[in-house]
Structure 1
Amino acid sequence: MSVAERIRRPISDRELNRRWAANRDLMKEQNIELVLTQGNNMHLGGYVRWFTDIPAEYNLHMTVLFPIDEPMTLVRSSASRIPQWALRGVKEVLYAPFAPTLNYTADSEAGLVIDYIRKRNPKRIGWIGKASITAGLMEKVVTAFPNVEFVDITNDFDMIKALKSDEEMEYVRETARIHDLLWAALPAIVKPNMKEYQIRAEVAQLAADLGSEEHLLFIGTAAPGKPCGMSTFQYANRTVKEGDYGILLIEVNGPGGYYCESARNFCFGEPFKELQAAWDVAAEAQQLTADLLTPGRNANEVVAKYNAFVSERGYCQEGRLYGHSQGYDLIERPAFMIDHKYGKEDMEIRPGMNISLHPYFIDDVRAVYINDNYYVTETGAKKIHKTAPKIIVL
Structure 2
Amino acid sequence: MTTTSLEPSDLYPTTRPAAVSEAVERAGLDALLLTPGPDLRYVTGYDALPLERLTCLVVPASGEPFLMVPRLELPAAEHSPASRLGIEFVAWDETEDPYAEVARRLGPVARVGLADRMWAMQSLRFRAVMPEAEQVLAGSVLRDLRMRKSPAEKAALAEAGAAIDAVHNLVPQFLKAGRTEREVGKDIAEAIIDSGHARVDFVIVGSGPNGASPHAELSDRVIRPGEPVVVDIGGVMPSGYCSDSTRNYCVGEPPADYVAYYEVLKRAQEAACAHVRPGVTCESVDAAAREVITEAGYGEYFVHRTGHGIGLETHEEPYIVAGNTEELRPGFAFSVEPGIYLPGRHGARIEDIVVCGETAGERVNHTTRDLVVVD
TM-score band w.r.t. shorter chain: 0.7 to 0.9
- Give the alignment of 1:267-282 within 5 angstroms: 267-282=250-265
Identity fraction in percent: 21
- Give the alignment of 1:1-394 within 5 angstroms: 11-12=8-9, 15-39=12-36, 45-56=37-48, 62-67=55-60, 68-75=62-69, 82=76, 84-86=78-80, 87-88=82-83, 89=85, 90-92=87-89, 94=91, 111-130=97-116, 132-148=117-133, 150-152=135-137, 154-215=139-200, 216-222=202-208, 226=209, 228-229=211-212, 235-317=218-300, 318-339=302-323, 345-364=324-343, 365-394=345-374
Q: What CA distance in whole angstroms lies between the structure 2 residues aligned with 1:72 and 1:56? A: 15
Q: What CA distance in whole angstroms lies between the structure 2 residues aligned with 1:302 and 1:367? A: 22
Question: After the TM superposition, which of the residue ranges 140-149 and 229-238 deviates more from structure 2?
Answer: 229-238
Question: After the TM superposition, which of the residue ranges 69-78 and 259-268 deviates more from structure 2?
Answer: 69-78
Deviations 1:38-64 (A, max 9, x none): 34xxxxx42121122233557867533
Residues 1:309 and 1:129: Cα distance change in structure 2 (over 3 Å) = farther
The answer on whether the counterparts of 2:110 and 2:132 sit within 8 Å (CA) in structure 1 is: no
* Helix, strand or coil at the partner of 1:82: helix
Superposition deviation, residue 78 in structure 1: 6.0
Code of the residue aligned with 2:58 in structure 1: it is: L
Q: What CA distance in whole angstroms lies between the structure 2 residues aligned with 1:189 and 1:266? A: 11
Code of the residue aligned with 2:340 in structure 1: it is: F
Question: After the TM superposition, which of the residue ranges 11-20 and 280-289 deviates more from structure 2?
Answer: 11-20
Question: After the TM superposition, which of the residue ranges 76-85 and 316-325 deviates more from structure 2?
Answer: 76-85
Following TM superposition, where does structure 1 have runs of at least 4 consecutive aligned residues deviating by more than 3 angstroms? Answer: 7-10, 30-33, 56-63, 74-81, 93-97, 146-153, 229-235, 316-319
Code of the residue aligned with 2:270 in structure 1: it is: Q
Q: What CA distance in whole angstroms lies between the structure 1 residues aligned with 2:192 and 2:215? A: 17
The answer on whether the counterparts of 1:219 and 1:232 sit within 8 Å (CA) in structure 2 is: no
TM-score, normalised to structure 1, is 0.81
Residues 1:233 and 1:81: Cα distance change in structure 2 (over 3 Å) = farther
Superposition deviation, residue 24 in structure 1: 2.1
Code of the residue aligned with 2:176 in structure 1: it is: K
TM-score, normalised to structure 2, is 0.85
Kindly tell me the number of residue pairs found equivalent between the two proteins: 363
Deviations 1:30-88 (A, max 9, x none): 4544211234xxxxx42121122233557867533223432431456968972532242
Q: What CA distance in whole angstroms lies between the structure 2 residues aligned with 1:206 and 1:235? A: 16
Superposition deviation, residue 373 in structure 1: 0.9
Superposition deviation, residue 10 in structure 1: 5.1
Superposition deviation, residue 126 in structure 1: 3.3
Residues 1:304 and 1:232: Cα distance change in structure 2 (over 3 Å) = closer
Superposition deviation, residue 288 in structure 1: 1.2
Superposition deviation, residue 289 in structure 1: 1.3
Residues 1:360 and 1:36: Cα distance change in structure 2 (over 3 Å) = same
